[in-house]
Amino acid sequence: MNSNAAIELRGLGKRFGRRTAVEDLDLTVERGEVFGFLGPNGAGKTTTMRMVLGLVRPSAGRLRVLGGAIPEDSAEVLPRVGPLVETPALYLHLSGRDNLRVLAAELGGVPPGRIPELLELVGLAERAGDRVSRYSLGMRQRLGLAVALLHQPALLVLDEPANGLDPAGIREIRALLRQQRDRGTTVFLSSHVLGEVERVCDRIAILHRGRLAYTGTVESLRGSAGRFRVGLDDADRALRWLRAQPWGSDARLGEAGEVEVGSPTGRGRDLNLALAGAGFVADSLTAVQRDLEAAFLELTEG
Amino acid sequence: MSTTPAAEVEEHPTPTFANALRAEVLKLRSHRPTFVLAGFVLLLLGLVLFALAQDVVIRSDLPSRPLAALDQVLPPVQFVFAAGAGVVLLTSSSRLVGMEYALGTIRVVLGRGTTRSQLVLAKLAVGLLFGGLLLVAYACLTALGLTLLTVHLAGSTAPIGALPAAGWRQLGLAVLSCAASVVSCTAVGVGLGAITRSLTGGMVLSILFFPLDNALALVLRAAYHLDHLGVWRSVSALLLGPTLNRLPGLLTGQAAASGAVLPTPMVTLAGGGALAVVAGWFLVLLAMALVVSARRDVLA
C-alpha cells in the first residue's frame, strides 16, 4: 500500500445482512488533493465515508487513512481528520459557540481563540450565542464545517458540504475548500452538485451500486466521449461518406456547420487519417466534451 | 465565510479520557431540565422534613431518646433520595448516551478519534460525579434540616450532641446505602442507553427498569409459594431493585421504611452480600455497555 496516500482503500467491502453496500472498492486519494466522490443515492458513498472514519467496520478489504490502518490505528489517525458526514450533527440545545467549545474540549489542544475565528470564518459570529435548534439548515451546515475545521485537520471528509446552502454559501464553500487545499489539507468530499465538483476537485471517483465505475480527472471523464467535431470545406459530401462507414453511421451536422462524428478507434488522429484517405482535408478537429452530468448519468444509468 | 483562522492548534491533538470527561461535564452542565429535576428532589426533602416536624412520636423521642428519633427520621429521608435522585440519575445518564445517537453527534465524536470505551467510561464517570454531588447536596441539606428540626422540637442542638456512636454509624451507613443507589442508577442509565442507542428508548427502559425488577421479585415470590422451589428464593437475591430496597435495613440493622413497602429478596443477605450484588450489576452493565459500543457499527 502507498504510505504517502491520504486515503487508500483496497478490496474494501461492506455487507449489511444480505445487502451489499460496497464491493471490492480500490481507491487512492493522494495527500493535498481535493477528491470528489460521486454516485447516485444508495451507491455506497456514505458507507465508504463511515468506514474511512472508523464508524462502520469493513466486511472485507483493507483501509488506510493518513498512513494508519483503520480501525486498528483509529486513535492515532482520526484526531487528524475533520469529518462532516450526512446532515451536520450538533447539540441542538447548545449555542453554536458552545457546540464548538464542547467538541474542542473533547479533542483537546484547541486554543480558545480558535473558536471566534472559526465562527467568523463560517459567517456565524453574529448568531454564535443562539441555540442551534434555531439555526436554518444552511447555518447548521456552516457550523458543521466549523466543527470539521476546529483542529486544523490534515484530511477533511465532507459528505455533501453544500447541502442546504444558498448559491452564495456554495461559492463560499468552494473558496474555503480551495483555501484548505492551498494549506496542504486533503479534501475527500461527496456531492450531488456536479458543477461544484467540477470546479473544485482535482480528481473524482464515481461509485455505482457499491462498485467503482470511474476514477480519474473530470477532464478525462468528459473527454472520454470519443466523438469529434471536424471543420471541413465540403461538409455535406463528407457527411455522406462518413455515414457510409461502419463507425460513422451516427455522424451529424453541428450547428456551426461542422461534422460531429466518432472515430474508428476512438482517437482523433485515426479519424483524421481516415478522412484524408477519402480525400477530405480537415480544417479543424476538436474532441467533443460531454458535460459532467451527461457523463455521470451515462456511467450510473448504463 | 471569510479568511483563514490564525490560532494555531496543537500539531497532533489527542482525544484522551480526561478530554472526553471534560466534554461530558460541559454537556451535562448545559442541560437545564436535569438540574430542575434535581431541585425538585431537594424541594421534596424539605417537604418530608416539614412533615417529620409535625410527628408527635419524633417530638417526644427527640429530647430523651435521640437514637429512636433518628430511626424514625432516616427511612423516609433515604427513600426520597433513592426514588427522587434515582429518577434524576436514570434519566440524565441514559440521556447522556442516547442523545449522541439521536443527534448523530456520535459520528463527530468517534470520527475524530475519541475511542468508544473512552466515551462510555467518560459518560459513566460524569454520571457518577453528578450523582455524588447530588448526594453531597442532599446530605448537607438533610443535616441542616435535621439541625433546624432538632432546634425547633427540642429547643437546642443538645440531642444531636447526645447521639450515641451507633447513631453516627447509622448515618454513615445511610450515606453508603444512598451511594449504592447512585452507582446502580447511573450504571443502569448508561448501560441501557448504550444498548438501545436511543434517547427515548434508553430513558423509557431506564425508568421502567426498577418497576420491572420489583415486579419480577413479586412473580418469584408467587412462584415460590406455588412450588416451594429454592431456586426462586436464590434468584430473588440477585435482583438489583429488591436488593437496593433492602440495603438500608441490611446495612444499619434496622427495618427500612422502603423495605416495608417495596418488594425485597426472599433470602436475607448480609450487608456485604447485598453490596456485592450491587457491584455485580454495576460490572455487568458496564461490560455490556463497553461491548455493544465497541462491536456495533455506528449508523446514526
Q: What domains appear along chain A, each with residue ranges and CATH number?
A: 5-216 (3.40.50.300), 223-301 (3.30.70)
Mean pLDDT of A210-225: 80
pLDDT at residue B9 is higher than 70: no
Task: Report residue A302's pLDDT band, with 50, 70 and 90 as the boundaries.
Answer: low
Contact between residue A36 and residue A214 where contact means Cβ atoms under 8 Å apart: no
Task: Find the mean pLDDT for residues B20-47.
Answer: 93
Nearest CA in chain B to A116: B5
> What confidence score (pLDDT) does residue B258 get?
47
pLDDT of residue A157: 96
| Residues B107, A118: C-beta atoms closer than 8 Å | no
Mean pLDDT to the nearest integer, A17-23? 93
Q: What secondary structure letter does DSSP report for B85?
A: I
Order of strands, sheet of A227-232, starting from the edge strand that comes earlier in the sequence: A252-253, A259-262, A227-232, A282-287
In the predicted model, is pLDDT for residue A235 greater than 60?
yes
pLDDT, tens only, B35-77: 999 999 999 999 999 998 888 888 888 888 888 888 889 889 9
Q: Using a CB-CB distance cutoff of 8 angstroms, which residues of chain B are in contact with residue A150? A: 9
- Read off the pLDDT of residues B124-168 as tens digits, 9 standing for 90 and up: 999 999 999 999 999 999 999 999 988 988 888 988 988 999 899
Q: Do A105 and B23 touch (CB under 8 A)?
A: yes
Peptide bond preceding A71 in cis form (omega within 30 of 0): yes
Under 8 Å CB pairs connecting chains A and B tally to 151
* Closest Cα in chain A, distance from residue B102 (Å): 9
Measure CB to CB from residue A90 to each of B18, B20, B103 and give the nearest one: B103
pLDDT-based confidence at residue A299 (cuts at 50, 70, 90): confident
Residue B82's SS3 state is helix
Q: Which of A188-192, A221-225, B92-96, B188-192 has the lowest mean pLDDT?
A: A221-225
pLDDT at residue B236, as a whole number? 93
How much is the pTM? 0.84
Residue of B nearest to A155 (CA): B112
The ipTM of this complex is 0.84
Per the CB < 8 Å rule, is B5 touching A106? Answer: no
* Dist CA B30 CA B95 (whole Å): 13
Least confident of A153-157, B83-87, B92-96, B264-268: B264-268
Rounded distance between C-alpha atoms, residue A161 and residue A272, angstroms: 44
Model confidence band, residue A234 (pLDDT cutoffs 50, 70, 90): confident
Residue range B210-248, pLDDT digits in tens: 999 999 999 999 999 999 888 999 999 999 999 998 888
Query: Is-contact B165 B259, C-beta < 8 A?
Result: no
**The predicted structure's pLDDT at residue B253:** 66
Percent over 90 (pLDDT), chain A: 59
The residue to which cell 479520557 is assigned:
B17
Tell me the CA distances in angstroms from B169 to B49, B57, B80, B150, one per residue in order: 21, 23, 20, 19
Please tell me the predicted confidence (pLDDT) of residue A262.
86
Out of A87, A90, A152, the one facing B9 most closely (by C-beta) is A152
**Confidence band for A224, pLDDT divided at 50, 70 and 90:** low
Contact: B9, A122; criterion CB under 8 Å:
no
Preferred mutation among B108, B116, B123, B297 to probe A, highest tally of A CBs within 10 A? B108
**Residue B20 clears pLDDT 90, i.e. is over it:** yes
Q: Which residue has the cell 449508523?
A: B299
* Amino acid (1-letter code) at residue A78: L
Helix (H) or strand (E) holding A215: strand A211-216
Give me the pLDDT at residue A218, please. Answer: 83
Q: A29 pairs with which residues across the strands? A: A7
Query: pLDDT tens digit string along B173-202?
Result: 999 999 999 999 999 999 999 999 999 999
The pLDDT of residue A291 is above 50: yes
Q: How confident is the model at residue A278 (pLDDT cuts 50, 70, 90)?
A: very high
Question: What local confidence, expressed as pLDDT, does residue B257 receive?
Answer: 45
Q: Which of B137, B121, B113 is nearest to B24 (CA)?
A: B121
Are the beta carbons of A83 and B107 separated by less than 8 Å? yes
Give the residue-averaged pLDDT of A113-120. Answer: 95
Binding-site residues on chain B for chain A (CB distance < 8 A): 1-10, 12-16, 18-20, 22-23, 26-27, 30-31, 99, 103-115, 297-299
Q: Do A79 and B15 touch (CB under 8 A)?
A: yes
- CB atoms A50 and B2 under 8 Å: no
Q: Which residue of B has its CA nearest to A114?
A: B7
From B29's Cα to the closest Cα of chain A, the distance in A is 11
Whether residues A108 and B14 touch (CB distance < 8 A) is answered with yes
Residue B280 CA to residue A89 CA, distance in Å, equals 36
